[in-house]
Chain A
Amino acid sequence: MRPARMVAILAAALGAAACEAKKPGADAAPAAASAAPSADRILVGHIGSMTGSEATFGLSTDNGIKLAIEQWNAKGGINGRQIGLKTYDDQGKPEEAAVAATRLTVNDKVNVLLGEVASSRSLAMAPVADANGVPMITPSSTNPRVTKENGKVRPFVFRVCFIDPFQGTVAAKFARNDLKVSKVAILRDVGNDYSMGLADYFLAKFKELGGTIVDDQSYKAGDQDFKAQLTAIKGKNPEVIYVPGYYTDVALIARQSRELGMRQPLLGGDGWDSSKLFEIGGKAIEGSFYSNHYASDDPSPRIQDFVKAYQKRFGSTPDGLAAMGYDAAMVAFDAMKRASEPAGTSLRDAIAATKDYPGVTGIITIDQNHDASKPAVVVEVKGGTSVYVTTVKP
């Protein structure tokens, strides 16, 4: 009966593991106890990559969502109902995201589905949300196809972030009209749909505006050495380098470009927005620009309050993804407050009706494509922080 013994071991191990791991389970989900939906409770489901190569993004988003929930609960919840959070990890795998979404909607019966950071994973979740009639808001999936598949708008899927075409265009306009440059090189993350999307739209728009793309290089997230590409780019001496990646890589890219004696400013998107960028990038990143939802030096209280609250709660300055997560949750709750019933179609309609919601990441209005139309700001990296430069309307 050796297999039997094996199974016993397995069971024991699992059991032990389960108990031992209660802490974070409960930590990540204060509502862990209340898997079953109850009339007096609102359950938010979040799917993010809590482990794997993009865990840091999933984590920030999760923190943002937590903050939003805690603030609402402190204020007595939504129409007197407390909010719970259930977070599932998808390890950055689309197939996992699909399964997780099914479990959240079918077993845990969440009122609203939040996630994912990456479009590829949101694309895996979206059909599930539609099929089960559970509204889904993705904080930062920028690919147009997330909300609109084959020309049809997905009924239950929304987003509070820019879409690639918009942000790409913003960067292109800024480079051409404000920086007045005509020769730009692109350095994109070939493994990342967000980066690819931005790069493509930037490229198209910039050409349309009469600029030239002197070089189009690519790297892979997690690379530690970008000098090969940078050296090649240097040979083409562009005036600006467009690097629509995540801060994790951009910081190194900036450093290595300076090490190669390149002085061009870098230009990027909201993936840059993190204090880590300044910490790791150091002097090298100074004088670069990126398009973002807000400038952290923006005096308006709603931003400053958020930044303070976040620092107080998590002991670190929020990055763009945290802010997006926060807003995604906030938009959902705002809609729940208005909705007759904080779930299903009525919630869906309420979200769709969101107009001029003062989010941290801008005044959010959900348009007929279920996308958030909001102005983008362009910020410059100065003195280890981002400084407002200009605003670009949709």
Chain B
Amino acid sequence: MTEFLQHVVNGLSLGTIYALIALGYTMVYGVLKLINFAHGDVYMVGAFAGYYIATALDVERSPSLPKAVAVFVGAMAVCGALGWAIERFAYRPLRNRPRLTSLITAIGVSFLLEFGFQLPSLRAQGEAFRGVLEGWGLRLPAPVAGVLAVLPDNFPPGPTPRFFPEPFERVDWTVLGGVHVSNYDVVSLAVAVVFMVALQLIVYRTKFGTAMRAVSYDSRVAGLMGIPVSRIISGTFVLGSVLAAVAALLVAGSRPRIDPIMGLMPGLKAFVAAVFGGIGSVPGAMVGGLVLGFSEEMVAGYTVSSFRDGIAFAMLILVLLLRPEGLFGRVSAEKV
């Protein structure tokens, strides 16, 4: 019984993460009908942004609430900016092109982030460059050399995983005779719920949200109605990326290993969750994420754990075949 409850707790904390990432997918898809494959990598960037800020603030030795907040806000800002940039430079130029095209650029961006973060640090690269030049008997002009000296020596992080300092003290509670819950699980859940509710409000209560839905319904007409489509889409990207950052920090805080490809699998899974819940629907993404989290947990816990990944997708396929529009998705019969 305790074991089952434990699984429930685990599944919940896993599901909330999926849900948060899935929200990003679902919103972007909603307005752009584009599977933003780079989303998982935005999530990764979020984790690293948090990491660098935390190291700068020396969170590891002296964690505190204000610092934690700073880390969160900073990472969210970075990801927001990144999301905006990606949309602006990789997707917008192709908006009126076949969607496959932007899908490829999405993959391109994803690769760029993943492999870019695996490069040696700028300083190391600079030194290597200097080495080559000197190998040719050339030497760097003084100003350039000066620049070399100030290049960051731990960015890009390279492929070796980094340790993510705990943004705040970890507390573990044992409840109901043997079920272990940590304040991280609670905080994650709380934060996730808060953000989801906030998002729901944004989408259904604000002017921006209304515009967003209009764009997702028919961006052309929305444009004719004087809605600044581009700005709305940018906004959506920023929003989604910010959520990805939140998810990343919640994960990194309790599972403190971060590396450049940490976004790959969570990205795919979250995508599955989004589709499962009906891509384009906010509550769908939440439910999808939770369902996925639970089912993975239960499969791994009670059957052959190596089928864990398989089950996520098997489930997905089943749902799609039985209910192609997903749990909360709306049917869009093509008008003839």
Direct contact of A and B (CB under 8 A): yes
Q: Chain B binding site: helix, strand, loop or mixed by DSSP?
A: helix
Instruction: List chain B residues, Cβ under 8 A from A276.
Output: 160-161, 163
As a 0/1 sequence over residues 21 to 59 of chain A, the CB contacts with chain B under 8 angstroms (1 = contact) are: 011101100000000000000000000001111011001
B326 at the interface (CB under 8 A from A): no
Of listed A23, A24, A220, A255, residue having the most chain B CB within 10 A: A23
Output the nearest chain A residue to B129 by Cβ-Cβ distance.
Answer: A23
Bound Cα distance from A224 to B18, whole angstroms: 12
A73 at the interface (CB under 8 A from B): no
As a 0/1 sequence over residues 216 to 257 of chain B, the CB contacts with chain A under 8 angstroms (1 = contact) are: 000000000000000000000000000000000001000111
Q: How large is the interface on A (under 10, 10 to 19, 20 to 34, 35 or more residues)?
A: 35 or more
B315 at the interface (CB under 8 A from A): no
Instruction: List chain B residues, Cβ under 8 A from A212.
Output: none
Question: B306 to A26, Cβ gap below 8 A?
Answer: no
Question: B306 to A218, Cβ gap below 8 A?
Answer: yes
Among B6-14, B30-38, B138-146, the one that faces the other chain is B6-14
Chain B nearest Cβ from A328, distance in angstroms: 20
Output the nearest chain B residue to A223 by Cβ-Cβ distance.
Answer: B265
Question: B305 to A234, Cβ gap below 8 A?
Answer: no
Instruction: List chain B residues, Cβ under 8 A from A190.
Output: 306
B132 at the interface (CB under 8 A from A): yes
Question: B302 to A232, Cβ gap below 8 A?
Answer: yes
Question: A224 to B159, Cβ gap below 8 A?
Answer: no
Chain A nearest Cβ from B270, distance in angstroms: 13
Instruction: List chain A residues, Cβ under 8 A from B7.
Output: 228, 231
A392 at the interface (CB under 8 A from B): no
As a 0/1 sequence over residues 190 to 206 of chain A, the CB contacts with chain B under 8 angstroms (1 = contact) are: 10000000000000000
As a 0/1 sequence over residues 107 to 122 of chain B, the CB contacts with chain A under 8 angstroms (1 = contact) are: 0000000010011100
Bound Cα distance from A173 to B135, whole angstroms: 53
Instruction: List chain B residues, Cβ under 8 A from A367.
Output: none
Question: B118 to A248, Cβ gap below 8 A?
Answer: no
Bound Cα distance from A259 to B256, whole angstroms: 13
Count of B residues near A, CB < 8 Å? 49
Q: How many interface contacts (CB-CB < 8 Å) are there between A and B? A: 119
Chain B nearest Cβ from A10, distance in angstroms: 14
Instruction: List chain A residues, Cβ under 8 A from B296.
Output: 228
Output the nearest chain B residue to A234 by Cβ-Cβ distance.
Answer: B3
Bound Cα distance from A52 to B256, whole angstroms: 20
Bound Cα distance from A279 to B164, whole angstroms: 10
A235 at the interface (CB under 8 A from B): yes
A215-265 CB contacts (< 8 Å) to partner B: 217-220, 222-225, 227-229, 231-232, 234-235, 248, 251-252, 255-256, 259-261
Output the nearest chain A residue to B251 by Cβ-Cβ distance.
Answer: A224
A381 at the interface (CB under 8 A from B): no
Bound Cα distance from A57 to B158, whole angstroms: 12
Chain B nearest Cβ from A80, distance in angstroms: 21
Q: Chain A binding site: helix, strand, loop or mixed by DSSP?
A: helix
Instruction: List chain A residues, Cβ under 8 A from B125.
Output: 23-24, 27
Bound Cα distance from A61 to B11, whole angstroms: 38
Bound Cα distance from A219 to B266, whole angstroms: 15
Question: A27 to B132, Cβ gap below 8 A?
Answer: yes
Known contacts A26-B132, A248-B161: A232-B305 contact under CB 8 Å: yes
Contact among A51, A231, A248 for B6, CB-based, below 8 A: A231
Bound Cα distance from A301 to B66, whole angstroms: 48
Contact among A223, A227, A280 for B256, CB-based, below 8 A: A280
Chain B nearest Cβ from A224, distance in angstroms: 5
Question: B264 to A227, Cβ gap below 8 A?
Answer: no
Question: A27 to B118, Cβ gap below 8 A?
Answer: no
Known contacts A24-B125, A59-B160: A51-B115 contact under CB 8 Å: yes
Known contacts A26-B132, A55-B118: A229-B301 contact under CB 8 Å: yes
Known contacts A228-B297, A232-B305: A23-B128 contact under CB 8 Å: yes
Question: B257 to A251, Cβ gap below 8 A?
Answer: yes
Instruction: List chain A residues, Cβ under 8 A from B297.
Output: 227-228
Bound Cα distance from A327 to B309, whole angstroms: 37
Instruction: List chain A residues, Cβ under 8 A from B88.
Output: none
Question: A235 to B259, Cβ gap below 8 A?
Answer: no
Residues of B whose CB lies within 8 Å of any CB of A are 3, 6-7, 10-11, 13-14, 115, 118-120, 125, 128-129, 131-132, 135, 158-161, 163, 172, 174, 178, 180, 182, 251, 255-257, 259, 261-262, 264-266, 296-302, 304-306, 308-309
Q: List 6 A-B contacts (CB under 8 A).
A: A59-B160, A223-B265, A228-B11, A228-B301, A228-B308, A252-B255
Given A232-B3, A280-B257, list of 18 further CB < 8 A pairs? A26-B128, A27-B131, A52-B261, A53-B261, A56-B158, A56-B161, A190-B306, A218-B304, A219-B305, A220-B265, A229-B305, A248-B257, A248-B259, A255-B255, A259-B182, A261-B174, A276-B163, A280-B163
